[in-house]
Copies of this chain bind each other. A is one copy, B any other.
Amino acid sequence: MKTPPISIVKSVKFKAKPEATTLGFGKYFTDHMFTAKYSVEKGWHQAEVGPYKSFEIDPGASVLHYGQALFEGMKAFKQENEKVVLFRPEFNWHRMVAGADRLCMEAPPKDLFLNGIKELVKIDQEWIPDQPGSLYIRPTLVGTEAFLGVRPSNEMLFFAILSPVSSYYAEGSAPVNIWVETNYLRAAPGGLGATKAAANYAVSLKAALDAKKKGYSQVLWLDFSREYIEEVGTMNVFFVFENEIVTPSLDGTILGGGVRHSVIQLLKLWNLPISERKLKLSEVLEASKNGKLKEAFGTGTAAVISPIGELATESWKINLTNNGQQGELSKKIYDELTGVQYGRREDKLGWLQPL
């Protein structure tokens, strides 16, 4: 696949940058965006870093009717020496390629994906917040051909936008309370669960809203049998038992997160007993009763490492708050991960890429 050159068009209007304290997550966008187009006839073309702005879309476009939409979430960090780094961007490219295949779309080639994002982050690097903030990068691929017969689109738009962020949850790094969802289902075998398809989020909104009404930050998704643990909305999940750390194995219904993968790498590096395996909800409840459940935490690009304070269903609750503090292991992982990201610790696993 031939990669087109990337043209750069600088914005002439610049937005006021928000105060660090008001950032939250995904509320503000920077001055520029990266876009590239694909058609079956032309291949990838018209690659440009230009002003952030609304784009025109035909009302018959595939993304509006048949949900051909796939995205990634990644981050850029400003280190103490002002050096800007990307965290594992190739991981995100690989995942987008796999997702594009499942959704019958054409993913951008690696160099277009990486170079477009790097040029974009470069031009907007003044937007990167200081620690503990970061620049969230949202690469997105959508079908743009206008037709109504159900089939894959022959035209795509790839774009990346940037948002300066602090914490994903209002709780910051304090423990979040999670509701175990038994009514709705996120994904089943043969579906889209392993991809970062927009469709997976459409199905999840109502469950998250119901959980919020009950006072919970997110839901824990179970598999279609409602027996096995899959993931938390927007995060993968880890349970720290007395002699084993467990995260559900990737069996096709779970989104394999970049932070999930990095945490597994770290735990192996530290010679800790990490298992990727099927995990029953009843096993977690049992371990909690026996005092063998030490910690639970979520992992995600947006949320980083989020300790779980409470896990609740209609019939039971597990309290895991360590006096409101982060658990020992999740704190150690958080410190290492953010230490590498901000350049305070050595990047032993080769996670970082300079611009």
User: Do A198 and B65 have beta carbons less than 8 Å apart?
Assistant: yes
Stretch in A36-44, A135-143, A271-279, A324-332 with 4+ CB within 8 Å of B: A135-143
Check B59–A56 contact: CB distance below 8 A: no
- A201:B59 contact, CB within 8 angstroms: no
**A134-154 near B? 1/0 per residue, CB < 8 Å:** 001010101000111111100
Q: List 17 interface pairs A-B (beta carbons < 8 Å), by A numbering.
A: A52-B59, A56-B57, A57-B57, A64-B140, A66-B201, A67-B67, A67-B203, A104-B206, A138-B148, A150-B234, A152-B205, A185-B190, A188-B224, A198-B199, A198-B202, A199-B203, A224-B224
CB < 8 Å neighbour of A65 from B29, B168, B201: B201
Contact A205 B103 (CB under 8 A): yes
A49 within 8 A of B: no
A263 within 8 A of B: no
Q: Which of these, B27, B69, B104, B150, contacts A233 with CB under 8 Å?
A: B150
Within 8 A of B (CB), among A176-209: 183-185, 187-192, 197-206, 208-209
Given A185-B189, A191-B188: A69 touches B65 (CB 8 Å cut-off): yes
Q: How far is the CA of A60 from the CA of B162 in the complex (A)?
A: 10
Q: Are B192 and A60 in contact (CB under 8 A)?
A: no
Q: Does A22 sit at the interface, judged by CB under 8 A?
A: no
Whether A311 is near chain B, meaning CB under 8 Å from some CB there, is: no
Asked if A323 is an interface residue, CB under 8 A from chain B, the answer is: no
Q: Which of B25, B53, B147, B187 contacts A27 (CB 8 A)?
A: B147
Question: Are A202 and B204 within 8 A (Cβ)?
Answer: no
State the CA gap A161–B66 with chains docked (Å): 15
Q: Which residues of B contact A33 (CB under 8 A)?
A: 59
The answer on a CB contact under 8 Å between B60 and A57 is no
A93 at the interface (CB under 8 A from B): no
**A67-B67, A224-B189 known; A206 vs B102 contact (CB < 8 Å):** yes
Residues of chain B lying within 8 A (CB to CB) of residue A81 = none
Q: Is the CB of A55 within 8 A of B56?
A: yes
Is A238's CB within 8 Å of the partner chain B? no
Q: Residue A121 at the B interface, CB < 8 A?
A: no
Query: Given A69-B64, A138-B148, is A203 in contact with B191 using a C-beta cutoff of 8 Å?
Result: yes
A198 and B103 CA atoms in complex are apart in Å by 12
| Copies of the polypeptide in the assembly | 2
B198→A64 contact, CB < 8 A: yes
Let me know if A21 is at the binding interface, CB within 8 A: no
A41 to chain B, nearest CB (A): 17
Chain B residues with CB under 8 Å of A136's CB are 148
A159 to B209, alpha carbons, bound, how many Å?
A: 26
Within 8 A of B (CB), among A115-144: 136, 138, 140, 142
| Distance between Cα atoms of A57 and B65 in the complex (Å) | 15
Contacts of A161 in B (CB 8 A): 59-60
Of B56, B152, B209, which one neighbours A56 at CB under 8 angstroms? Answer: B56
Cα of A134 to Cα of B295 in the assembled complex, Å:
61
Report the bound CA distance from A60 to B198 in whole Å. 12
A26 touches B202 (CB 8 A): no
> Which 3 pairs show the lowest CB-CB distances between chains A and B?
A26-B148, A185-B190, A199-B199
**Are A65's CB and B138's CB within 8 A?**
yes
